[in-house]
Structure 1
Amino acid sequence: MPSVTVWNEYIHEREDDAVAEVYPDGIHAAIAAALDERGHETRTATLEEPEHGLTEAVLDDTDVLLWWGHIAHDEVDDSVVDRVVERVTEGMGLIVLHSAHASKPFTRLLGTPCDLTWREGDERERLWITDPGHAIVDGLGESIVIEETETYGEPFGIPEPDSLVFTSWFEGGEVFRSGCCYRRGRGKVFYFRPGHETYPIYHRDDIQQVLDNAVRWAAPSEGADAHGGNRNVDPPEST
C-alpha cells in the first residue's frame, strides 16, 4: 500500500472554535485516520513543524502527499516547495484539497494562478462524475451530493486537465471543475474541491472513498528510467 503524508496548515482548528468542533484534532488527523482505516500507512505534517514537517527523509518515505491549505500559503518556505515539486516530477503523487488550489506547490506545478470565484452560503453541491471509467470514482454512484458547503465558481484559472473527473453544480447556479487530474513529469496530481473547514466533509464515507481511490491512483508506478537535466551524450548504439 502507498505511504501517505497528509499536510495541513493546522491554523483554523487552533484559532476558530467552530472549526475545532468539526475537526478537534485537525483536518490532517481526520484524513489520515480515514486513510489508515483503509489500509494506508499514514503520517501527518503541519506548517509550524521544522521544515513544515516535510524533511528530505519524510518525502523520501512518501508515495503520495495530500495538501490542505487556506490562509498561510505565503508562509510556506520556497525551499520546501522546491523539494515537493521536485519529488512530484520524480514520481511522488500529489493530492491538492479545496483551498489549496492557491498553494505554492500546485500553482508552481500548473504554471498558472489557479484563481476562482467563491462565496459562503451553506448551499447544496452536486458533484457529477464526468469520467465514470476513472479509477478515482471506483465504487461511487453517478454523483455526490453535499447538502451544505462553500460555493466555488468558474472561471478557474487552471490549464486544461488531462482528465476531468468531477464537475460541480451548486444551488446558486455556479458550476466548477472540481476533480482535475494532471501529469507532471513522472508524478500524478489530483485537485479535489470539497473540504471547507467549517463543514464535516472529510468525515463522509463517499469523500473518504474518493481520497482512498485518489491515493491509489496517484501512487508511483514503474516506468522507464528518468534522465533529467542537460546532458552531453553519445548516440545510442545501433542494433
Structure 2
Amino acid sequence: MPIKAVVWGENVHERENAVVAEIYPDGMHAAIAAALNEDDAISATTATLQEPEHGLTAERLADTDVLLWWGHAAHGDVSDEVVERVAEAVWSGMGLICLHSAHFAKIFKRLMGTPCNLTWREAGERERLWLTSRNHPIARGLPDHFELENEEMYGEPFGIPEPMETVFVSWFEGGEVFRSGATWRRGAGNVFYFRPGHETYPTYFDPNVRTVLRNAVHWANNPAARVQGVTDAPNVPVETALEPITERGPKLHADGEEGFR
C-alpha cells in the first residue's frame, strides 16, 4: 500500500503574485505533490488554507501518513484548533515535513517549543547544500553537494532545539551558513525541516530537491498503528494495579528449584 501524503500550502502567493503564478500555475502544493507522485510508493494529494478546516479535518489526518507543510504569508490565518489537531496527529505517529518559511508556521513552533527565528535576505543568491550525513535515508541518491542558482538566504542563528540529526548544511554567496535539513522526533511522529523553496524561484522543479522530498516522505512515514490517547494522563485505580510483592526471600518454584521473588 503506498504512503499517503498530503501537501498543504497557503496558496496565497500563487493567487496574488504574477511571478509566482507563472512559475507555479497550479500552485506550489501541486508541484510538490507531482514530485512525490513520481514515486509509485507514494500517493500524494493536496490541501490549502482556503478550504474548510484548511483541508485538514480529523478524518483526513487520521488517514494521512505524512503531511508536508509550506507556509509564509499567512501563518496567523491558520486556525489554532487545526494546529492542535495536527500536533496530536504527529504525537500519535503521523510524519511532518516543514518546508522553507514553514519554520515560522504555528505547527512547527508548537512542536519545537522555541522561537524558530533566523536571519534572511532575498537577493537571488546561489545556495550550495552540503550533505552532513551521507548515509542518511533522506540523502539517498544525492551527490555530496548540489547547488540552487537562485534562492533566498536563511542564516544562523536558527532558533530551534538541537536536531536529532542534521542532514544538510547550506552555504550562500554572502558567506552565511544554515542548518537546512534537520530531523526531530515528537512523540511517535518523525519531523523534518527542509529549507529551500522560496516562492519566486523554481526550486521545487529541481531534480535534487524533488529527490529530497520523496526520500523525506519515506523517512517520515511510521508504519506502526497510531498511538491512542496521546494527550491523556489517566489515573490508574488501585484495584487494577499490579499486585504488590509483599514477601521477600527465597521461594520454591513449581519445579522445586529455589529462587527469589
Alignment partners' CA distance in 2, 1:168 and 1:235? 53
Alignment partners' CA distance in 2, 1:170 and 1:122? 10
TM-score between both structures, scaled by the size of structure 1: 0.96
Alignment partners' CA distance in 2, 1:225 and 1:182? 18
1:5 and 2:15 aligned: no
Equivalent position to 2:112, from 110, 116, 132: 110
Give the 3-state SS of the residue equivalent to 1:113 in structure 2: coil
Match of 1:38 in 2: 39
Alignment partners' CA distance in 1, 2:161 and 2:137? 21
Match of 2:82 in 1: 80
1:26 and 2:27 aligned: yes
Match of 1:230 in 2: 233
Letter in 1 for 2:216: A
Residue 42 of structure 1 deviates from its aligned partner by: 1.3
| Contact 2:92/2:226 (8 A) holds in 1 | no
| Mean CA deviation greater in 222-231 or 43-52 | 222-231
For the pair shown, which has the larger CA radius of gyration, 1 or 2? 2
Equivalent position to 2:147, from 134, 142, 145: 145
Q: Structure 1, residues 175-216: CA drift from partner, whole Å, max 9, x if none?
A: 000001000000000000000001101011110100000000
1:186 and 2:197 aligned: no
Residue 232 of structure 1 deviates from its aligned partner by: 2.5
Pick closer, same or farther for the CA change 1:225–1:97 going to 2, 3 Å.
closer
Residue 113 of structure 1 deviates from its aligned partner by: 1.2
Match of 1:171 in 2: 173
| Mean CA deviation greater in 188-197 or 50-59 | 50-59
Give unpaired runs (5+ residues) of structure 2: 246-260
Give the 3-state SS of the residue equivalent to 2:214 in structure 1: helix
Alignment partners' CA distance in 2, 1:161 and 1:57? 30
Q: What root-mean-square deviation, in Å, do the aligned CA atoms of Structure 1 and Structure 2 show? A: 1.6
Residue 132 of structure 1 deviates from its aligned partner by: 1.0
| Contact 2:116/2:159 (8 A) holds in 1 | yes
Residue 32 of structure 1 deviates from its aligned partner by: 0.6
Alignment partners' CA distance in 2, 1:225 and 1:153? 36
Match of 1:125 in 2: 127
Alignment partners' CA distance in 1, 2:32 and 2:38? 10
Q: Structure 1, residues 3-54: CA drift from partner, whole Å, max 9, x if none?
A: 0000000010111000011100000000111111212111100001000000
Residue 138 of structure 1 deviates from its aligned partner by: 0.4
Give unpaired runs (5+ residues) of structure 1: none
Alignment partners' CA distance in 1, 2:183 and 2:8? 19
Q: Structure 1, residues 67-106: CA drift from partner, whole Å, max 9, x if none?
A: 0000100000000001000000000000000001000000
Alignment partners' CA distance in 2, 1:38 and 1:55? 26
Match of 1:217 in 2: 219
When the two structures are aligned, how many residues end up with a matched partner?
239
| Contact 2:188/2:227 (8 A) holds in 1 | no
Equivalent position to 1:52, from 51, 54, 65: 54
Letter in 2 for 1:125: E
